[in-house]
Amino acid sequence: MLPASGLRAGMAVRVEGVLYKLIGAEYHGGGGKMGGVTHAKLRNLETGTLREWRFRGDQVVQEVLPERQVMQYLYGDGDTSYFMHVETFEQIGIHNRRIGRAVPFLKEDMTLSVEFFDGQPMSIVFPDIVEVRVAETAPPVHTQGNDNVWKEARLENGVGVMVPPFIAPGETIRVEIETGKYVERAKTDRRK
């Protein structure tokens, strides 16, 4: 058990009997007679749905420690992604709704940790930011009253993101997985 004020992104918790993975958690200290509150964004590990929850700062939450195994991504088949244990060669499938927004960013032979809860594979540990190559871009779009100019880009994995006008096809950019937003141009592509 852990106080709600100690919740951090990436943790797994059981709330009302359901397993959740914390996407984000912010603690807001209270003043006077008002106690602190933790605002948490949770992903249901069974259904993949997102839920926002508010915990009192002194409320206790059951933390669940997953068993992690290093596995290699093999392929995706419809709504399931398949992984192989690197030592035993045992293969498992995880439904894509449990993996979430990271599914399009999986690449064959990628090695990452798979989290098991109660002996069942439930999620993967994926980097927050990944580098992806831009396949094509559209002309810049300027909206009324906004000084920022952005254009749509299609990445090599088919995902669409908004990028600054200086990004060209063939460049590698960094993208935040959870929000799908452009972060910066990858350092390997920066001109000296």
Q: pLDDT tens, 128-138?
A: 889 999 999 98
Residue 118's pLDDT is what? 81
* pLDDT number for residue 147: 65
CATH number of domain containing 12: 2.30.30.30
- Count structural domains, the chain: 3
pLDDT, position 146: 61
Q: Is 131 helix (H, G, I), strand (E, B) or coil?
A: strand
Q: How far is CA 156 from CA 29, 167, 182, in A?
A: 43, 14, 14
Tokens of 88: 């035993």
| 58 and 71 fall within a common domain | no
In this structure, what CATH number is given to the domain that contains residue 83? 2.40.50.140
**pLDDT for the residue 99:** 84
Q: Collect the ranges in the chain with pLDDT lower than 70.
A: 141-147, 188-192
Query: Alpha helices of the chain — where are they, by DSSP H?
Result: 96-99
pLDDT digits (tens, 9 = 90+) for 41-53: 988 888 878 889 8
